[in-house]
């Protein structure tokens, strides 16, 4: 189904007029909010705006300060660790669960609901519950110790070096259910005859998944990637609810740096510089890919 439905009318503007009118909200959002807001942010990152935006330019000062700030560096590092593990585990766990669910099991509905329900809860809730389960005085650690293993230590939220993994545990709990659903949907969309053909050819199951099924689920993987990756870049609430960036600054993330400096420190310039860095990183990774994926090319 291509867009070439209209037969060459003379006026280019009037071509597809209804579609253009209908797309006005999208165009406005894309141009005014996302593009405009971004440019506005980048523009003011070169100023020393404090509580309110003001036009007094300071060149690259905000960026120099940003890259000298230990907290920013830790935030970047945390996001990298969190991002990589979150992406890998979400995809692997999501896919494995979906593959298991696709084995014509009984109680499929029950299992699916169990895996998916955390997604219905907000990050405030997720953070709170996991904060509690991981609390050394009440949670897993104290329970295992009370069972007799007194040296058992599992205290991620109060141990700076591993706190980001404590957040990861909660994030995976919340998000993998949706990935599983997406993957399951993808698997269901695959024609059964492909399985039969693979079996006839004697291809082992894992190979079938890896080399035939997964490549066919390209669209699902793309949708999933967009959802997971955008969630990773924006991670904020979960950290605030679970650790508030602590202990110390060891679980800080970039989005929190942006927010804290914009509003708590009342230094918009600094916050905008940080958000510009985030946007640039996202743009470098996403734009070429998104354009190849969604634009330019005709669909087959």
User: 140 to 159, contacts with another protein by CB under 8 A?
Assistant: 142-143, 146, 158
Q: Which of 49, 37, 46 is nearest to 266 (CA)?
A: 49
- Contact call for residue 11 and another protein (CB under 8 A): no
- Contact call for residue 177 and another protein (CB under 8 A): yes
Rounded to a whole number of angstroms, the minimum distance from the CB of residue 81 to another protein is 17
- Contact call for residue 85 and another protein (CB under 8 A): no
Rounded to a whole number of angstroms, the minimum distance from the CB of residue 164 to another protein is 14
Rounded to a whole number of angstroms, the minimum distance from the CB of residue 274 to another protein is 9
- Contact call for residue 122 and another protein (CB under 8 A): yes
- Contact call for residue 19 and another protein (CB under 8 A): yes
Rounded to a whole number of angstroms, the minimum distance from the CB of residue 128 to another protein is 6
- Contact call for residue 53 and another protein (CB under 8 A): yes
What would the x/- binding string for another protein be over residues 192 to 231, using CB under 8 A? Answer: xxxxxx-xx----x----------xxxxx-xxx-xx-xx-
Rounded to a whole number of angstroms, the minimum distance from the CB of residue 99 to another protein is 9
CA 268 and chain centroid, separation: 25
DSSP conformation letters of the chain: --STTS---S-TTTTTHHHHHHTHHHHHIIIIIIIIHHHHHHHHTTB---SS----B-TTHHHHHHHH-HHHHHHHHHHHHHHHHHHHHHHHHHHHHHHHHTTT-TTHHHHHHHHHGGGGS-HHHHHHHHHHHT-TTTSHHHHHHHTT-TT----GGG-TTTHHHHHHHHHHHHHHHHHHHHHHHHHHTS-HHHHHHHHHTT--HHHIIIIIIHHHTHHHHHHHHHHHHHHHHT--HHHHHHTTT-STTTT--HHHHHHIIIIIS--HHHHHHHHHHHHHHHHHHHHHHHHHHHSSSPP-
Cβ proximity to another protein, 57 vs 291, nearer residue = 291
- Contact call for residue 2 and another protein (CB under 8 A): yes
What would the x/- binding string for another protein be over residues 59 to 78, using CB under 8 A? Answer: ------x---xxx-------
Residues 232-291 binding another protein (CB under 8 A) are: 233-234, 236-237, 243-250, 254-255, 258-268, 270-272, 275, 278-279, 282-283, 286-287, 290-291
Residues 22-51 binding another protein (CB under 8 A) are: 22-23, 25-27, 29-38, 40-41, 50-51
Rounded to a whole number of angstroms, the minimum distance from the CB of residue 300 to another protein is 5
Cβ proximity to another protein, 10 vs 137, nearer residue = 137
Q: Which of 244, 242, 273, 268 is nearest to 256 (CA)?
A: 244
């Amino acid at each position: 189904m291509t867009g070439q439905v209209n037969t060459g009318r003379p006026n280019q503007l009037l071509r597809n007029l209804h579609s253009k009118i209908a797309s006005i909200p999208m165009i406005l959002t894309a141009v005014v909010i996302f593009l405009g807001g971004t440019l506005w942010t980048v523009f003011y990152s070169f100023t020393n705006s404090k509580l309110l935006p003001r036009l007094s330019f300071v060149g690259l000062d905000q960026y120099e300060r940003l890259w000298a700030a230990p907290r920013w560096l830790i935030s970047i590092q945390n996001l990298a660790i969190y991002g990589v593990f979150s992406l890998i585990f979400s995809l692997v766990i999501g896919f494995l669960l979906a593959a298991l669910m696709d084995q014509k099991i009984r109680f499929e509905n029950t299992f699916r609901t169990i895996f998916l329900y955390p997604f219905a809860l907000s990050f405030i809730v997720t953070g709170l519950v996991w904060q509690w389960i991981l609390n050394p005085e009440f949670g897993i650690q104290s329970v295992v110790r009370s069972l007799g293993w007194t040296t058992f230590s599992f205290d991620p939220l109060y141990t700076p070096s591993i706190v980001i993994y404590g957040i990861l545990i909660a994030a995976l709990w919340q998000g993998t259910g949706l990935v599983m659903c997406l993957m399951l949907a993808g698997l269901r969309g695959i024609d059964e005859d492909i399985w039969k053909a693979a079996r006839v050819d004697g291809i082992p199951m894992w190979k079938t998944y890896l080399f035939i099924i997964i490549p066919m689920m390209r669209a699902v993987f793309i949708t999933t990637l967009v959802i997971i990756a955008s969630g990773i870049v924006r991670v904020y609430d979960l950290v605030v609810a679970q650790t508030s960036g602590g202990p110390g600054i060891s679980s800080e993330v970039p989005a929190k740096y942006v927010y804290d400096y914009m509003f708590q420190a009342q230094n918009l310039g600094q916050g905008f510089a940080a958000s510009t860095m985030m946007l640039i990183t996202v743009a470098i990774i996403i734009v070429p890919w998104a354009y190849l994926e969604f634009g330019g090319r005709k669909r087959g």
